[in-house]
Structure 1
Amino acid sequence: MQLRHLEVFHAIMLTGTITAAAKLLNISQPAATRLLLRAEDQLGYKLFDRVKGRLLPTREGQVLHAESERIISGLENLRKLSRNLGAATSGHLRIAAAPALCIDLVPLAISRFRQKHPDVSFEVETRQYADLVRVVLNHEVDLGIGFDIQSHPGLDIQKLAEAQFYGIFPKSMENQLPASVKLDWFRKHPFIGLRSDDPLGAAFGAAVKLSGVDLQPIVEVKTNQIALSLVARGAGVAIVDQYTAAAHDPRLVTARPLLPNIDFAVHIMRAKHQPASVLARKFGAVMAQAEKSVSGTLVTTNRPQRT
């Protein structure tokens, strides 16, 4: 018995007539009749008897109906699931990201995404670079978001944005600062530095070395968020990624672009052996828009004043 035969059989059981069943299935009455006759021909027995203008199920039809309801119900659930997957209206996404991106950027993207798709749930964790790559490769998360992700045969890596480093300073220093701060300026003040055992710290260290400026930190930190907290407490000055800088409390900290700029990239990655779901692709697009919002706020706030 083919699926279309089963659908016609089920529709007749619901409506009691060929005409009503055809209307329910959005097909013509002759087409519904042909499908019923073919089904009975293949089975070798009648499914309905005509009684006073209605079709009543035979004993065989009654037995078959019990099983057909389960199949039709499962088919409808499958159709709903396929529609939801295509529309990305429900589901669950596991996200791992660099700590700096989880201060504001990832929360903003999730908030915006759930406004349109409230039935989508999330699981979010912060990971340093090595762990971030590992959990993506092991498919412990659906997406990883980090800085300057290096090429890997098991990863599909896409650039989310080009970003840059910013200087952050205690609020009390605001009136002393130029519109853009040169690296050499940081040597005159207690400097809080990021460790160089991940790509972001290494990229900054290489740029500083190339500039010929020797920055000796009084405190070395693992994450830029710690640097931001230290600056807010007046412990010194620091250079951090723009997403950490954008999250500063303007009552305690002020931020300035560097001169010259030191750039880095933000990447989204997934395991190559796991195809990206519609949900993941749509979230990636929302992440890109959220990134523009966060970066735009920082650029506007710290744009050099015309003289």
Structure 2
Amino acid sequence: MKRFNIRQIEAFRAVITLGSMTKAAELLGVSQPAVSRLMADFQDAVGFKLFRRQRGGAEPTEDARRLFQQVEKLFTGLEELNQEVQAIRSVTSGSISIAAMGLYANGMLPDVIARFRQRYPDIAISLDGRSQDRIAEWVGSGRADIGVVTLPIALASVDVRPLITRPALCVFPVDHPFAGRELIKAADLADQPFVSFPRGTPFRFEIDSLFDRAGIERQLLTEATTHEAVCNLVAAGLGVSIVSAFSPHLRRDPALVFRPFLPAIPITIGMIADEACLSVAARAFHQFVLDEVERLDARPKGHTAKHDGKTVPL
């Protein structure tokens, strides 16, 4: 069987729909002999008679009518395809997969996603809380479009965007003697029960190194793997700790008090992605996050405390 082409199918659809080769030629913007030629070639390709000549027009055969039903399905599919292309371009269709450390998945990201959804209500979004190493693996393999992590991160295969840097905070129960202070210094934690992160984690290493250099001993009897768990242990009265300023407990746990800690331990949130391979929807979210960070940096900062003539953010 000879092969037919889309131009022949378009002409066939127009002739069947309009019932006339002359009208079909006008619709397609070609001459009537050109339509006749397309139909002759199409009939030759399919191998069966398509039209019977009638006074006033071309009458389709029963085989042509059956073929027309399939042609209509084809053009309906093409129309739906075109609509989907337009939807993707205008970010009214698509999906985004985000992998984030639990600290950010439970803290800042739900609000960011909610604001994004207000602008793009039809985008499907999945948010997975994962460990830092697993996030890097997921983004590197394409299993997640975007990752939100604590920097630095060793991952050469993707693009890394620093977002926000904030100093860590000291956290303690609301009835702790520290509650009346504006800030907490490392020396204040001498001999205090301290809730730690696990050994081998970068944040634990940084905190321990700070106290070791200062020669300050703490009571290290309790530890937990996440900022959320550390805060819960502190709220239960098991000690004090140093946690990220991005902890979700900052805004929702009345049993805890957070204060600036000196010397400052900066924590930077980063966004990782293979930016060249992002879908239209994922690229829109990626840019939305960057715009949100710029907006946050531009607005007045929150509460501050004074220490030795310096302003320390809370």
User: What's the TM-score, normalizing by structure 1?
Assistant: 0.77
Q: Does 1:264 align with 2:267?
A: yes
Q: 2:91 aligns with which of 88, 91, 107?
A: 88
Equivalences for 1:91-130 in 2 at 5 Å?
91-130=94-133
Assess, with a 3 A threshold, how the Cα gap between structure 1 residues 187 and 70 changes in structure 2: closer, same or farther. same
Counterpart Cα distance in 1 of 2:8 and 2:214: 76
Cα offsets for 1:111-137 (capped at 9, x unmatched):
222233333333332222222223333
Number of the residue aligned with 1:228 = 231
Cα distance, 1:304 vs structure 2: 2.3
Q: 1:162 aligns with which of 161, 165, 169?
A: 165
Number of the residue aligned with 1:281 = 283
Q: 1:177 aligns with which of 178, 181, 200?
A: 181
Counterpart code for 1:73: T
Assess, with a 3 A threshold, how the Cα gap between structure 1 residues 74 and 149 changes in structure 2: closer, same or farther. farther
Counterpart code for 2:39: E
Counterpart code for 2:180: Q
Counterpart Cα distance in 2 of 1:6 and 1:15: 14
Equivalences for 1:124-139 in 2 at 5 Å?
124-139=127-142
Counterpart Cα distance in 1 of 2:149 and 2:57: 66
Q: Secondary structure at the residue paired with 1:77?
A: helix
Assess, with a 3 A threshold, how the Cα gap between structure 1 residues 244 and 61 changes in structure 2: closer, same or farther. same
Q: 1:199 aligns with which of 199, 202, 206?
A: 202
Backbone CA RMSD of aligned residues: 3.8
Counterpart Cα distance in 1 of 2:295 and 2:245: 12
Cα offsets for 1:183-211 (capped at 9, x unmatched):
22222532222224233434444455556
User: What's the TM-score, normalizing by structure 2?
Assistant: 0.76
Q: 1:31 aligns with which of 23, 29, 32?
A: 29
Number of the residue aligned with 1:72 = 75
Counterpart Cα distance in 2 of 1:227 and 1:264: 17
Number of the residue aligned with 1:25 = none
Counterpart Cα distance in 1 of 2:299 and 2:247: 12
8 A Cα contact 2:8 2:39, kept in partner: no
8 A Cα contact 2:179 2:257, kept in partner: no
Cα distance, 1:82 vs structure 2: 1.8
Cα distance, 1:177 vs structure 2: 1.2
Q: Secondary structure at the residue paired with 1:266?
A: strand
Number of the residue aligned with 1:217 = 220
Cα distance, 1:223 vs structure 2: 0.8
| Structure 1 alignment gaps of length 5 or more | 23-27
Counterpart code for 1:239: I
8 A Cα contact 2:228 2:249, kept in partner: no
Assess, with a 3 A threshold, how the Cα gap between structure 1 residues 206 and 189 changes in structure 2: closer, same or farther. closer
8 A Cα contact 1:105 1:294, kept in partner: no
Number of the residue aligned with 1:244 = 247
Assess, with a 3 A threshold, how the Cα gap between structure 1 residues 20 and 292 changes in structure 2: closer, same or farther. farther
Cα distance, 1:240 vs structure 2: 0.6
| Structure 2 alignment gaps of length 5 or more | 310-314
Number of the residue aligned with 2:312 = none
Q: Secondary structure at the residue paired with 1:123?
A: strand
